[in-house]
A and B are shown apart, each in its own frame.
Chain A
Amino acid sequence: MNKEDETLLREVIGEDVTSSDSYNIRKNGKLVERKVNPNINIVTKEDNSGIDIYVKENTLFGTVNIPVIITESGLTDVVYNDFHIGKNANIIIVAGCGITNNGHWDARHDGIHRFYLEEGAKVKYIERHCGLGVGDGKRILNPVTEINMKKASYMVMDTTQIKGVDDTIRTTKANLESDATLIVTEKILTSKDQVAKTNFIVELNGENASTHVTSRSVATEKSYQEFVSNVTGNTKSYAHVECDAIIKEEGQVKAVPEIFAKNVEANLVHEAAIGKIAGEQLMKLMSLGLTEKEAEEVIIEGFLK
């Protein structure tokens, strides 16, 4: 790894990767460095298509960092990461992908993350995506997240894509058993002619399963975003899906909400709001002495915080 790689890694993980209990760093499709501990094991899959992460039951306050970086133009990297979270374990997982593309060819990463949460397991999953580099080749990211939640498990998923990713299709699928809770927060900022699509497919299968999905997005310049959510309540369950978008210049956002209650006890709510920055918000900040441009920046920064 060189200096540039380290900068990219830091951008993805938000701190020094090696400061956590366990980690697995992948660069251009190959393992660079790995650390495991008695509670958290990371094993390369036999066919080399990815890794399995095993977290022992009752593990408390563990952290795992799984960054992927790509610095070769023209590379397509597909990886399967399977997380097996034992009963009542409580863990923080930070994953993400950074692409530096200084070349002409597209660089692409498709990460497939599968989560298996046993009863009472608690996961905070943070996923960050960013693209850097000056090449005209695209930076493409297509993350797939599959979440299987056993009884009374709990998962918070935070995804952020703020910079420089040209094309992304994000798919998140979840199945929730009884008393399981899934909280998803997604933040996306697109500019230039970037395209970002998000699909949420959640099945609430067990009694009192609940989910809360919040999507905050900003589409500027000529970028396009699509938010599709599809939540099914098969039993007594609760869902709240919120899509909130700011559009600027020629940015476009499409929200397709689908909620399907298959049981009279299912309580599903969808809220979607798309629009430019409210004039009165700009006026208030300008009346405090900010220029219109500064006011816009403050509003967007807060919105995506």
Chain B
Amino acid sequence: MLELKNISFTRNNKKILNNINLTLDNDKFYVITGPNGSGKSTLAKIIMGLEKPDTGKIYLNGEDITNKTISERAKLGLGYAFQQPVQFKGITVYDLLKLSTNKKELTKKEACNILSKVGLCAMEYVDREVNKSLSGGELKRIEIATVMAKKPYLAIFDEPEAGIDLWSFQNLTEVFKEISNNSNTTTLVISHQERILNIADEIIIISKGEIEDQGAKEKLFDQIMNPKKCCKGGTPCE
């Protein structure tokens, strides 16, 4: 169980997150959605330790992890697939997967199995360097694969669907479903995609750095898909 208490984060006089309180239970699949720039990625980075909140506390199963480093959180079972995948010079996909699984003796075959989950025709990719020679969608899938390979206790995926073609995307939702069915793990996906929202247990809507709404998918899904407010011809209508 992960608890965020009164998390605030201000940069350049802008309140990016304002007093966030959130509890994530085990065994659940959460989807965070909300407008661009509303603070979703910032929240994910704060959970993983990439950013430090100005105020507030983070608890993992009751233990205060607010001051723990990224590495320590990773060892406690947190994982984060970046919105913008990081590139490296001279580090191959296989190297990264070996590091993710923490298995020095990870075989190429095992690495390939992980890659095929994210729809990469594996043998072609294991020895490629994780650099700009890979396409945007390929980098994104490799990023997702590194987190899946780690089998975290709490996995955060930041817009995993971005840049991934429709056909593969279908398979990806299957994989997320599979992960969410694994017991005793929590999955948190940041997404704008209907199909991902649709497999959520709970949806969290973030707007302007605050949690605007949170609840079961059944309750929030329709609300998001058919907003009461719309802007036809510039005039709001209820």
Contact = CB atoms under 8 A, between A and B. Distances in A.
Interface of A is mostly: helix
Nearest to B76: A289
B146 interface: yes
B145 to A, nearest CB: 12
A283 interface: yes
B2 to A, nearest CB: 16
A280 B45 CA distance: 11
Interface stretch (B31-39, B79-87, B225-233): B79-87
Contacts of B96: 288
Interface in A257-305: 278, 280-281, 283-292, 298-299, 301-305
Contact of B91 (A289, A292, A302): A302
Interface residues of A, number: 22
Contacts, number: 61
A292 B71 CA distance: 8
Contact of A305 (B71, B73, B80, B90): B90
A244 interface: yes
A216 B82 CA distance: 27
Contacts of B102: 288-289
Most buried by A among B48, B69, B91, B150: B91
A215 to B, nearest CB: 13
B99 interface: yes
Nearest to A279: B50
B99 A286 contact: no
Contact of A244 (B69, B78, B89, B95): B89
A303 B86 contact: no
Contact of B71 (A291, A303, A304): A291
A285 B79 CA distance: 11
A286 B71 contact: yes
B71 A281 contact: no
Contacts of B80: 287
A297 B210 CA distance: 39
